[in-house]
Amino acid sequence: MKEEIFYKILKDYWGFDSFRTLQLEIITAIADGQSALALMPTGGGKSITFQVPAMAREGLCLVVSPLIALMKDQVDNLKARGIKAEAIYSGMTHEQILLTLENCQYGNFKFLYVSPERLKTDLFIKRCNFLNITMIAVDEAHCISQWGYDFRPNYLLIADILKVVGKDIPILALTATATSLVIDDIQNKLLFKKKKVFRKSFERKNLNYVVRHTENKFEQILRILKSVQGSSVIYVRSRNQTKEIADFLNKNHIKADFFHAGLRSEDKNQRQDLWKKSTVRVMVSTNAFGMGIDKPDVRTVIHFELPDSLEAYFQEAGRAGRDEQTAFAILLYNEADGAKLKRRISDNFPQKEFIRKVYQALANYYTLAVGAGFEAVYAFDLFDFCKTWRFNANQTYSALKILELSGYIELTEELDNPSVLMFVTTREELYSFRSQNSNTERLIEIILRSYTGLFAQMVHINESAIAERLGNTRNEVYDNLIKLSKLGIIKYVPFKKTPLLIYTQSRVDTEDLVIPKAVYEQRKEHYVAQIDAVLNYAEDLDNCLNQKLLIYFGEKNTIPCGTCSVCREKKSKEVNANRFEVLRKQIVAILRDNPMSINDLTMRMRTKQEDVVFVTRKLLDENKIFQNSKLLLELRP
């Protein structure tokens, strides 16, 4: 009876007649109240495994998801199917979050997507008790494990939410990549009472893995994109590279754009939409792009440089060919890349003495005394901090993350902080100003009508909404607000992206700073092993690439795929070896009758002269034939 309901939901909302491999088994387990971990490769239909059982039961499904783009994409897809879904993420105002939570409490909503950072806010925790949460889905669950390739400490808050909810509800943890160590860690961190793992093979038969050794990566990218048509993603390490490569492709008549975490939300959304619609063919991006984006027809994913781990590579490469048609995951490599990758070890794990220097510098930067600072929150500019203390930016960032894992601070990623505005004149002064400045009078009027409390506190505003009501552009509104601010009429702080640094315990003396072995030595050892696995994948040209990935993720009884670049090269050599034997026998048979020159031999065999030269040289080396006094090839007696 349950299966009939699941099939009906699948058909009614998604239009499918059947489930993919493992989907029904996972759905049934969750529907029976069991918690489970599902390992399914990118494009394997992970979202269906929690969305169908959530639709089949009463209450709300809480979905923890790491990226705003991923949440928005899934919420939009659910709404398009007539399913009530909402999302809460960084950058929303207090009023927006409160309204969303009230909708979920009273509006019969089925899904609430939240970023892990939201789980610790007082507002969310207080409201959680009033939400009828009956299951939790944890997307990108590898983020909860410090042994995972993208560990995010805020994922550890999920277990605390379980205590707040106070129910024995099922949790479905989902990930495309996890080693056996990470699998165990996920289940422990999510307090699974009974360990249950559904594992779909990591093999993607339609995905061809390619490693290309080259000194000219730009030329290789052009050759690849000209050989394989369709959408593509090119992953790079730095923000500067995203624009550089996109410009190069556009100059070569391939429509491309770039994407990284430093772009404004509006720009990200616009570029993402253009790529999804295939208006832009190629997106050149840091790893900030692609997670959870539902574009099935990506034909190539190209890695311009080596990733830090095979987990990251498999996740990103797996965004190609989600329509199950032939696609290519291509890694470009040269010898310098190996040395650069090894340098990341010292960048990610700077000396402990340097970490202590960074901790002391933070205290000086914020003039924070020993014993002070608990729960203090500061806007943090990494560039300015490093410039002030002449620190290396990469090593400093890593030191801050180690301090975070050690429990001293928390460093948020860049958060979208909306624009805020407040009138700093009296109402009478404002009235007088408006009557004398007709060019801004309408702007002021619309602001006063649209927002309340403007004379008492800083209020979040939306320049785009104001511009729409005015019939102006957003830039025109911005310019006029800046003018009003300079005239002393308003206090205006435009939209900005600001990381925050939070002291999670009072500042300690540098000599008392403790960096646990699990945070430093054990994680460094694990990271070195990950680097070695990536180098082996890129440099070993004797073993099947697909097989190496499958073995890395714990699959047994694997066989060569026959389609990766290594397998194809081997096949080519076998064909050449067979051809060599055929030509060898032909030459021996011909020379048995008469001595012959290379030119005559080529004409007699009707084949390429270079092939004949190659085989005859081999026969000469083996002393099977010789050149006589007339320089004719002759068989040895």
**Final residue before a domain boundary, out of 181, 199, 217:** 199
pLDDT of residue 253: 96
Tens of pLDDT along 331-361? 999 989 999 999 999 999 999 999 999 999 9
Residue 626's pLDDT band (boundaries 50, 70, 90)?
A: confident
In the chain, the percentage of residues whose pLDDT exceeds 90 is: 50
List, in sequence order, every residue forming a beta bridge with 327; answer none if it has no partner: 207
Averaged over 311-331, what is the pLDDT? 91
Angstrom distance (rounded) from CA 287 to CA 71: 17
> Could you tell me which residue, 162 or 246, shows the higher pLDDT?
246
Is 107 part of any domain? yes
Residue 629: helix, strand or coil by DSSP? coil
**At which residue do the structure tokens 């194809």 appear?**
568
pLDDT of residue 292: 53
CA atoms within 13 A on the CB side of 144: 29
Exposed, middle or buried, 83 (CB in 10 Å: 0-12/13-18/19+)? Answer: middle
Kindly give, in sequence order, each residue whose CB lies less than 8 Å from that of residue 238, ignoring residues fewer than 6 positions away: 286
> Alpha-carbon torsion 107, 110, 114, 116, what sign?
positive
CA dihedral 500→501→503→509, nearest 10 degrees, is -170
Q: Which region among 230-234, 353-357, 546-550, 599-603 has the lowest average model confidence (pLDDT)?
A: 599-603
Q: Do the bridges between strand 133-138 and strand 207-213 make them parallel or antiparallel, or are there none, so unpaired?
A: unpaired
pLDDT of residue 156: 85
- Other residues' Cβ atoms within 10 Å of the Cβ of residue 308: 19
Tens of pLDDT along 535-578? 999 999 999 999 999 999 888 889 999 889 999 888 888 878 88
> Alpha-carbon torsion 47, 174, 162, 102, what sign?
negative
The pTM of the full predicted model, rounded to 2 decimals, is: 0.73
pLDDT of residue 44: 67
pLDDT of residue 92: 72
Residue 317's pLDDT band (boundaries 50, 70, 90)?
A: very high
Whether residue 34 contacts residue 193, with contact meaning beta carbons closer than 8 Å, is answered with no
Is 557 part of any domain? no
Most confident of 42-51, 261-270, 543-552: 543-552
Whether residue 470 contacts residue 477, with contact meaning beta carbons closer than 8 Å, is answered with yes
Alpha helices (H) in 453-597, listed in sequence order = 463-470, 474-486, 521-539, 545-552, 565-593
Q: Is 541 found in the same domain as 457? A: no
Average confidence score pLDDT of the chain: 89
- Other residues' Cβ atoms within 10 Å of the Cβ of residue 550: 20
CA atoms within 13 A on the CB side of 262: 9
Averaged over 207-224, what is the pLDDT? 94
**At which residue do the structure tokens 């993603």 appear?**
233
Angstrom distance (rounded) from CA 474 to CA 270: 16
Q: Is 382 found in the same domain as 467? A: no
CA dihedral 214→218→219→224, nearest 10 degrees, is 90
The CATH number assigned to the domain holding 74 equals 3.40.50.300
Whether residue 68 contacts residue 114, with contact meaning beta carbons closer than 8 Å, is answered with no
Query: Residue 201 has which token pair?
Result: 């093979």
pLDDT of residue 550: 93
pLDDT of residue 93: 67
- Total domains, the chain: 5
* Amino acid making up residue 590: I
pLDDT of residue 281: 96
Residue 2: phi and psi, rounded to 5, are -60, -45
pLDDT of residue 633: 85
pLDDT of residue 64: 93
Is 345 part of any domain? no
Whether residue 527 contacts residue 502, with contact meaning beta carbons closer than 8 Å, is answered with no
Q: Is 260 found in the same domain as 193? A: no
Q: Is 259 found in the same domain as 231? A: yes
Exposed, middle or buried, 442 (CB in 10 Å: 0-12/13-18/19+)? Answer: middle
Tens of pLDDT along 12-42? 999 999 998 889 999 999 999 999 999 987 7
pLDDT of residue 560: 93
Is 18 part of any domain? yes
**Final residue before a domain boundary, out of 199, 221, 249:** 199
Is 536 part of any domain? yes
Averaged over 273-299, what is the pLDDT? 85
Query: Residue 547 has which token pair?
Result: 């097989």
Q: Is 32 found in the same domain as 150? A: yes
Tens of pLDDT along 389-438? 999 999 999 999 999 989 899 887 655 567 889 999 998 899 889 888 88
The CATH number assigned to the domain holding 626 equals 1.10.10
Q: Is 195 found in the same domain as 144? A: yes
Is 559 part of any domain? no
Kindly give, in sequence order, each residue whose CB lies less than 8 Å from that of residue 630, ignoring residues fewer than 6 positions away: 595
pLDDT of residue 200: 82
Q: Is 428 found in the same domain as 376? A: no
List, in sequence order, every residue forming a beta bridge with 421; answer none if it has no partner: 459, 492
Q: Is 328 found in the same domain as 213? A: yes
Is 213 part of any domain? yes
pLDDT of residue 293: 65
Which of 230, 251, 269 minimizes the C-alpha distance to 71? 269
Helix 463-470 and helix 474-486, axial crossing angle in degrees, nearest 10: 110
List, in sequence order, every residue forming a beta bridge with 282; answer none if it has no partner: 232, 256
Is 560 part of any domain? no
Most confident of 145-159, 218-232, 450-464: 218-232
Q: Is 213 found in the same domain as 193? A: no
Residue 407: phi and psi, rounded to 5, are 95, 10
**Final residue before a domain boundary, out of 199, 221, 240:** 199
pLDDT of residue 504: 87
3-state secondary structure 563-591: CCHHHHHHHHHHHHHHHHHHHHHHHHHHH
Name the residue range of residue 16's domain. Answer: 2-199
Q: Is 334 found in the same domain as 240? A: yes
Q: Is 463 found in the same domain as 354? A: no
Q: Is 434 found in the same domain as 383? A: no
Asked if residue 531 has pLDDT above 90, the reply is yes
